[in-house]
Structure 1
Amino acid sequence: MSFPFADVSESPVRDLLSLTGRSALVTGGARGLGKAIALRLAEAGARVTIADIDERLAQDAAADVSTRLDARAIGVRMDVTDVASVQSAAAVAVETFGGLDIWVNNAGVFPSMPVLETDDAAWDHVLAVNARGVFNGAREAARHMVQGASGVIVNVVSTAGFQGTAPGLSAYVGSKHAVRGMTKQMALEFAPLGIRVLGVAPTFVPTEGNIAAAAAAMEAAGVDPSTLPVMNQSLIGRLGTPDDIARVVLFCASDMSMIMTGSTLLADAGQTI
């Protein structure tokens, strides 16, 4: 069986990092971590589709990326839990940019619910967005990438995919362990198709959504924010930024990581040591 992965050992670093000529789609890309990822991919030369459940925010983010970097970017609506919505957004990206080379599964939710207070609907919603949404996106991405016999899928996991975290996050932790497992299995299945699959596991990064979710989690648990490890200073002396994580995603999406598939890279400032 032939595995179509090039040996890029003789390529200069500027070529290895370049995404010129490639088309990327980022889910949950309208703000926070997703937008930071879209910006770095566009800066590296990719044509970027920003997909988000809020279409207006997605279009505004795409306009900002285009203006700031003189790059090609579009915004589309995508509900990652809805297969038809995922297919529609992917079709727009393919029609606009001629294909799909990079797909970043970033969309996610981070609610706080003590186990004894978690009803079925709440559990199902977290798993639908964080786990099934990743499956829906990766499957659709691979269906397009296989036509070109190449591509990279990057799943945004979390340190919660490696360990338990704060009280009230059983559904979230379960969903992120699922994504880490899917990253391994999809890498195994997609390698013969020329598609690499990698995960990036950030620690807590203060984005709009994460700050609100962390505040809710602390309130529900009755915990002093300063006592939560996720809120403490890391081994590098500061909290991470969205761009810290975006640069790791860029590495995964580029040919710099050509030898890698199935791994989940901890972007955690040493939190899980």
Structure 2
Amino acid sequence: MLLQGKSIVVTGGNSGIGEAIVLAAAAEGANVTIDYVTHPEETTALIAEVEAAGGHAVGVQADITQAADLQKMMQTAVEAYGRLDVLINNAGIETRTSLLDTTEADFDTVMAVNMRSAFFGAQAAARQFIAQGGGGLILNISSVHEDWPMPGNIAYCVSKGGMRMLTRTAGVELGAHGIRMVNIAPGAVSTPINASTEADPAKMKALDAAIPLGRMAQSSEIADVVVFLASGKAGYMTATTVVIDGGIMQGSVGL
């Protein structure tokens, strides 16, 4: 198993890409801590699914926009499994508003969930890695929109652009401690955040036509790359972004 015995924290781990990461990591032997804010029943059901398959998972309700809750999240993993090996900053939101339409509240909320949580989550995880020794890994679920403009969704793009620079800079800073930091940038993925697009046949036809592989990704396909990066097979990768987009950044402009 690629992740046997590794202690992994997944923010926003009870739905979408986060849920797929939890299942894939547990199937590869990881001990998983699932962070959630709402829908505790979904977390309970996910833990039961992991355990039924022979894996190990615990849940923690934490507001990732608050540094104290991020620390609680790390401590939950350490108390449950003795250490922390991987933090996956997965939780994210968007407002789908333009520069002219985005309110202060919209902007602050997106930045808090997407960017602030990744920054202070990385800080808390890095401190734990250094304290326990042996290095560690921080994976950020970013987006192709860290680099590719998406008119009408500007706060989201700004937050993901910030995540890209966080990864590049912190990856350099933390290398001396044996700590790696890598962004994963998915393109269009079939998750709840894209439910409105999937419900519109015209939008889906246009999107599929813009993707060289002709379809959206499944959450499990993102999770498979997470497992690879968290394994020993990717130990020389840091301060960079891995793009998983079906070729959309090369095949289209301005979606």
TM-score above 0.5: yes
1:210 shift after superposition: 2.5
Tell me which of 234, 243, 253 is aligned to 2:230.
Answer: 253
1:136 corresponds to:
120
* Equivalent-residue separation in structure 2 for 1:235 and 1:100 (angstroms): 38
Give the drift of 1:58: 2.5
Alignment partners' CA distance in 1, 2:60 and 2:43: 6
Deviation by residue 1:114-150 (Cα, 9 ceiling, x = unmatched): 2212111111111111100111211111111112231
Deviations 1:60-114 (A, max 9, x none): 32222222x2101011112110111111121111101101001100000022112
Which of 47, 54, 62 pairs up with 1:70?
54
1:233, CA displacement in angstroms? Answer: 5.5
**Distance in 1 of aligned mates of 2:44 and 2:59:** 4
| Change in 2 beyond 3 A, CA 1:189/1:55 | farther
Identity of aligned pairs, percent? 36
Counterpart residue type for residue 158 of structure 1: S
Report the Cα offset of residue 272 of structure 1.
Answer: 1.1
Residue of structure 2 equivalent to 1:61: 46
Match of 2:133 in 1: 148
1:163 to 145, 148, 163: 148
What is the CA distance between 1:227 and its match in structure 2? Answer: 7.2
* Aligned positions of 1:18-167 closer than 5 A: 18-54=2-38, 56=40, 57-67=42-52, 69-146=53-130, 147-165=132-150, 167=151
**Which one of 188, 193, 206 corresponds to residue 190 of structure 2?**
206
Give the direction of change, closer, same or farther, for the CA distance of 1:245–1:173 in structure 2 (3 Å limit): same
Structure 1 stretches of 4+ with a deviation exceeding 6 A read: none
Moved more, 87-96 or 110-119: 110-119
Question: Is the Cα contact below 8 Å between 1:50 and 1:74 reproduced in 2?
Answer: yes
Q: Is the 8 A contact 2:3 2:227 kept in 1?
A: no
**Cα offset for 1:252?**
1.0
User: Given the superposition, is the C-alpha separation of residues 138 and 228 from structure 1 closer, same or farther in structure 2, using an over 3 Å criterion?
Assistant: farther
How far residue 25 of structure 1 moved from its aligned partner, in angstroms, is 0.5
Contact 2:97 2:153 in 1 (8 A): yes
The answer as to whether partners of 1:47 and 1:71 remain within 8 angstroms in 2 is yes
1:152-190: CA deviation from partner (whole Å, max 9, x where unpaired): 11001101011112x320000000010011011111011
Matches within 5 A, 1:210-249: 210-212=194-196, 214=197, 225-226=203-204, 229=207, 232=209, 234-249=211-226
**Local SS of the residue matching 1:115:** coil
String of CA shifts for 1:183-204, please: whole Å, max 9, x gaps: 1111101111111111100011
User: Would the aligned equivalents of 1:110 and 1:210 in 2 still touch at CA under 8 Å?
Assistant: no
**Alpha-carbon distance between aligned partners in 2 of 1:37 and 1:249, rounded to the nearest angstrom:** 7
Q: Matched residues in 2 for 1:241 and 1:131: separation?
A: 24
Q: Does 1:190 align with 2:169?
A: no
| Count of paired positions | 247
Q: Tell me if the contact between 2:140 and 2:182 (Cα under 8 Å) persists in the aligned partners.
A: yes
TM-score, normalised to structure 1's length?
A: 0.85
1:19–1:254 Cα contact (<8 Å) kept: yes
What SS does the corresponding residue of 1:49 show, helix, strand or coil?
strand
Displacement of 1:55 in angstroms is: 5.8
Which amino acid is 1:153 matched to?
Answer: I
**Gap runs ≥5 in structure 1:** 1-13, 219-223
Q: Which residue of 2 aligns with 1:4?
A: none
